[in-house]
Structure 1
Amino acid sequence: MFKLFEHIVYSIIACVMFAACADRAEMTENTGHLPAGSLINLSFAVVVPDAVDGERSRAVVTIPDDNNYFEREANKYEKLHTLRVIILRPSANGTKVVEHNRLVTFSDDGAILSDVLDFPVRGGETKTVYLIANEAAVDYDFSGISKGSVYSSGTFENLTVSPKGDNGVLLYNNSENIAGKTYIPMGEVYDFYVPNPKEDNDKFSAGTLFVTRAAVKFSFSITARDGEDLCLKSILFNGLADREYFLPHNTVYNPAKGNPGTQKPGTETTGRFITSYSIPSDVNHHPFTFSFDKPIPLSAEPKELLPVFYFCESKLHAAPSSDGSSAKSPYSIGITLTEADGKNELLLESVPLPNLPILPRNTHVKVNISLTKANANCVVDIRPYSEVILEPDFGL
């Protein structure tokens, strides 16, 4: 029997703190208040996932509850390597112009290698802030956007990423024997009002902002409970998309993103679930086969398989059941087995995943398989992530 599936939603967080900057040359003479449009400084602290002990499981993948435990990133390629901050401000003719475009780089352990996260911005207006992490994985020249230039509405929102090879759906391969591994891209966009400072050294905090990894990954744990002569040849997953938006698109989180400025830095939630999202309308969904160099002998001891493959988020619509009472699962797996002597190949195909209704970005699907020669059943569990705040001069 198959016992299955861990669905992990995790995120990296950027926490933004505003402190009023003194602009003494523009101080009014008697009031002591700064005039409208005076500068305040925008600075960042960075938050990363932290592991929490204990295992709990649940069947529903879209609504968070107390039965969760938290994990951290699996490797350095799931961390921040670069972070570009692009800030837009409104212009007199109703367009938005670039107020800042700055790239900050990090070491493998998360320490900031270049620049400081400090941005003087005009107060008294609504800002649009794009946080773009690990941009080298995105086919777009963000560095070519100059300060003061007019931003064309929807430019970043409509950027897409897609597999570059001939495999159809494999977005990034970070396997051990692969040269030139890819840092997983991530990003978010925020709109919020920055008030005018009332006096010198006035402060405004925008609270917690986060960025979301634009990838899905899988791992497997397989046990043969009554067929120790079985070997695993391949695993097929049905329903992976061949393209996705770079930035989260019409994405709804639980807990919600919230209104910047309503939380103090350091009061982050312990994880966010993606409950709704959009993908490009012309996306196609395909199967992907996890194949192995040679058949893997199976036994009552779990066999752990950790392919470092990343895919686009997908959004299949479930087909109605034959009696019309409920929808069938949109996702399924197939498993190819052989006996120890390589003979009598056995295919378990189209095994549904009834409680994996969506497959959003920032998700790790851990497949726990308990099998026999006769049948397979699957269940989905969840492991979201908690966060730890680190000040800018500490690194990650």
Structure 2
Amino acid sequence: MSLITSDLSTHHPIQNGFQLPPLALYVHIPWCIRKCPYCDFNSHAAAAKLPEEAYVSALLSDLEQDLIHVHGRTVTSIFFGGGTPSLFSAQALQTLLDGLEQRLIFSPEIEITLEANPGTFEQEKFAAYRTLGINRLSIGIQSFDDNKLHALGRVHSGSEAIAAVKMARQAGFTNFNLDLMHGLPAQSPEQALTDLQTAIDLSPTHLSWYQLTMEPNTVFWSKPPTLPEDDVLWDIQEAGQALLAKQGFHQYEVSAYTRDAQFAQHNLNYWSFGDFIGIGAGAHGKVSDPQGRIQRTWKTRQPNDYLNPDKPFLAGSSTLATTELPFEFLMNALRLTDGVALTLFSKRTGLPASVLTKGLQRARQRGLLSDDPLRLAASAQGQLFLNDLLHIFLDN
């Protein structure tokens, strides 16, 4: 039986309070030094020379075709993801940023994040990135343990990871995230907490701390390593969250922690069902129009195809059906530990909040949702069983 109430076929988004959400930009740079065995992102081992000029030109042409989705909005954040975007030279990124700013209106407080791996750190290069206006780094550490890094197929060492953080700070970056995994092959709770404490001691403003998972179409999926038992994983999770809280890191999303309210603005926009244009090989986007129609887009995946002028950038798009909107919204918003205001549901989906009534009642009865009637937020129990909570809102 459906837990989404009322007939959604005749809804009127504007009448229900729909507003165009904030707009962000995601830029995908698909090359890495080496493909990691756990990685299911669209990344490819780089050749000796990257086609920087051709790729930057393609990105700007791709954006030109997506300008129809802007609708006069300023861009609140830009995220360079990959792959390893820090393989690109400062000159290439300057050409790209100049081109983006010529075509888009940047918010005065725009957050511009670049993903980087320790093996790509060069002091002069990163100082140049900061001069360009890139004001946030997300550094892919994963572990400080050399044996664990080897098992993960990483190309850097623990000492290089520590040096990279110090170089980032010397280059002028005061806002940076460290990406760290736990539940690594044969990892003990003590080893996981040592990794975490090492990261904390480097004083990042933000930590992404999450469990290694086996994803389809990866080397680890076909040849899985020996991972810790479930009870060990639970011990790591509980002890790690306690350590982070003790050290002043506030958990505001399933795997995101921050000190001094230095939230990842780009990710907050994503989790609150904001819009984002995605450009680059394999990039995904979510865009709305003033009438309340919401569309998912995805770009040509293979870099050679993306660079081929005879092939389109857009691989496909799909308009979200009205019946899909509640689950799509909640799948993002309920990842936030404090949730979102109930009123945001109508602003983002154009649906009356009343369509959630039956699902909200069931979720609260099971203790998976906060009792606050003005917010959509998972309870402490709901955060542990988020998939169970979300499935309550599936249209069965």
If the length of structure 1 is used for normalisation, what is the TM-score?
0.23
If the length of structure 2 is used for normalisation, what is the TM-score?
0.23
Higher helix proportion, which one? 2
Work out which of the two has the higher radius of gyration on C-alpha atoms and give 1 or 2: 1
